[in-house]
Amino acid sequence: MCRLALKTASTPFSPFTVLTAMEAMQEGYDGSGLGLLLRGLKFSDYSYQAADPILSGIAHSEAALHRLNEFMQSQGYELKYDHEFEVDFAKIEAKDRFRYFLRVYKFPKPVAKMAQEQREQAMLRLRLTLRRNGEDHGGDLTVFSFWPDVATIKEVGWPMGVGEALGLNDNRIKSRVCMAQGRQNTNYGINLYACHPFFIQGIATMTNGENTAFIPIKEWLTGVGVEGYLGYQSDSEVFAHILHYVTKVLNLPLPVYKHVITPLKTEELDKHPQGDFLKGLRNVCRRLIIDGPNAVIGTLPDETCILTMDHKKMRPATIGGKPGEWAMASEICGVDAMIPDRDRSLDFQPMRENTIVVPPHRKEFEIWSQFNPCPLIQAA
């Protein structure tokens, strides 16, 4: 079983806080992996500019690292900061890790001058090129994300163990948003790319549970012709891609995500003020209906955090916290570990129709219901 934890706070905090939540929820996973995604980064030894892209990944050999360096140079990316993890390799299960990299680059001038959309595309392509490069060389280079203000760390092992091995408790790296998922894959092989959270163009999601509609969704996304819809070493990767498709390709507002992945029934839509539109949307996005017991936790580039459930609410998830600091976790003990000093009576467990949103201001969280109209649909 997978465990999820997310903390978002106005003041940057150490990812180790979130690892303590994973430790609290330890009964629920098997230690086959940990994934961390950080946004709103702050380094103790570097003054980071949030617009600079950060490349996260693992070089499994010296040769791979050299290739990476050469490639980035050839593309005109100037290295501004290279975060040195103080790795205790003895504590890492896998033996083919040479270097965990988390590097801040400066955009080459032509890329910097590009329109936002083109630049995003350029970053996606660069990540995919590096990924392919690694795959072409026997998997010696793994790249998780390349995006401003996003760092991703993934490794096989117990979350706390991995955190200690990578020295994440030294406060050298902090963030305003941290997503963590324990156990990396439900029903496919163990593979670093199969580890949650999944990332595409600034959008990241992680999930617990199994996505039983994976194959039809995957086949559809693969055929839809959007760059970056690949991988699928895990059945949960499609959640990130659907969020990307809804918000970036279809340019629909965030509340529509829930209507796409778990649409309402016809009888319910008959009574919905936007029923006709939503029925049409359900038809055309039918292949994107998820069908597992899942809680999906996602984050967007503006540090908005969302939490939503499968249609039957078959997975638990809780949000709790206080203004300026919120935590979401698949188990209440996870929330307790991240924000112990909160009013627990204000915790909320979303039901099947809800999407929980913590906006970037973090003053409060919002509860959206599918039964309410989405004010932004007409604009779309």
Partner 1 sequence: MVSVQSLPVNPSSLTYHDLPWIVQHREDRCTLCGRCTSVCPTNSIYLTYRRQRMPKVGLTPTTPALDQRGSAYRTFMGIRQNTDLTRRCIGCGMCAMVCPNEAITPTPNPNDPRTPFINNQKGEPYTRGGRRNDRNSLLDRIAFNRISMLTDPALDAGRHEFSCNTILGRVLPPQEFLRRQAAGEWIPPTREIFPFIIGSMSFGALSPNMWLGLLQGVAYCNEVLGIPVVMCTGEGGCPPWVLKSPFLKYIVLQIASGYFGWDEIIRALPEMQCDPAAIEIKYGQGAKPGDGGLLMWFKVSKLIARLRGVPEGVDLPSPPVHQTLYSIEESVMKMIQTMSMAWNFKVPVYPKISGSTSAKSVLNNLVRNPYAGGLLIDGIDGGTGAAYNVSMDATGHPIASNLRECYLDLAAQGRQNEIPLFAAGGIGKNGNVTQNGMAMIMLGASGVHIGKYIMQAASGCLGNERNRCNVCNLGICPKGITSQNPKIYRRLNPDDVAQRVAETFMSIRTEIKKIMAPLGRSQSLPIGMSDAIAIGDKDVAERLKIKYVC
Question: In one letter, which amino acid is 158?
Answer: W
DSSP state of 100: E
Minimum CB distance to partner 1, residue 174 (Å): 32
SS3 203: strand
Q: Work out whether 176 is an interface residue with partner 1 (CB under 8 A).
A: no
> Which residue matches tokens 């949000």?
319
Residue 106 binding partner 1, by CB under 8 A: no
Q: Measure the N-to-C terminal CA separation of the chain; round to a whole number of Å.
A: 38
Dihedral angle over CA of 114, 119, 122, 128, nearest 10: 170
Considering the rule CB under 8 A, would residue 26 count as an interface residue with partner 1? no
- Out of 51, 314, 351, 376, point to the residue binding partner 1 (CB under 8 A): 314
Interacting span for partner 1 (CB under 8 A) from 3-11, 74-82, 144-152, 209-217: 209-217
Does residue number 187 form part of the binding site for partner 1 (CB under 8 A)?
A: yes
Peptide bond into 197 cis (omega under 30): yes
**Least distance (Å) between residue 372 CB and partner 1:** 20
DSSP label at residue 228: T
Report the alpha-carbon angle 274-277-282, nearest 5. 115
Cα dihedral value 375, 377, 379, 380, nearest 10: 160
Kindly state the number of chain residues that form the binding site for partner 1, as judged by CB under 8 A.
43
Least separation in angstroms between CB 93 and partner 1: 21
Exactly one of 16, 214, 239, 365 binds partner 1 (CB under 8 A); that residue is: 214
Residue 249: CB minimum distance to partner 1, A: 7
Q: Is residue 215 involved in binding partner 1 (CB under 8 A)?
A: yes
Going by C-alpha positions, the residue among 152, 130, 127 that lies closest to residue 228 is 127
Which 287-306 residues touch partner 1, going by CB under 8 A? 287, 289-293
- Nearby residues of 6 by Cβ (< 8 Å), 6 or more positions away: 18, 177, 178, 179, 180, 206, 297, 299, 305, 307, 327, 328, 329
| Count of positions (residues) in the chain | 380
CA–CA distance, 182 with 178 (Å, rounded to integer): 13
Closest CB 219 distance from partner 1, rounded Å: 5
Q: Cβ closer to partner 1: 58 or 374?
A: 374
Give the contact letters, 238-257, x = binds to partner 1 (CB under 8 A), - = no: -------x---xx-x-----
Q: Which member of 26, 222, 274, 369 binds partner 1 (CB under 8 A)?
A: 222
Q: Which structure tokens are listed for 289?
A: 């209906």
Least separation in angstroms between CB 168 and partner 1: 27
Q: How far is the CB of 261 from partner 1 (least distance, A)?
A: 9
Least CB distance to partner 1 at residue 5 (A): 18
Which residue has 């690892």 as its token pair?
19
Based on the shown chain and the rule CB under 8 A, indicate whether residue 285 belongs to the binding site for partner 1: yes
Q: Which stretch binds partner 1 (CB under 8 A): 113-121, 123-131, 189-197, 220-228?
A: 220-228
Beta carbon nearer to partner 1, 346 or 380: 380
Is position 223 an interface residue for partner 1 (rule: CB under 8 A)?
yes
Whether residue 212 contacts residue 35, with contact meaning beta carbons closer than 8 Å, is answered with: no
Nearest to 299 by CA among 193, 206, 195, 181: 206
Residue 186 φ then ψ, to 5° = -90, -50
As measured in angstroms, the least distance from the Cβ of 266 to partner 1 is 6
Chain residues in the site for partner 1 (CB under 8 A): 1-2, 186-187, 208-210, 212-216, 219-220, 222-225, 245, 249-250, 252, 262, 265-266, 277, 280-281, 283-287, 289-293, 310-312, 314, 380
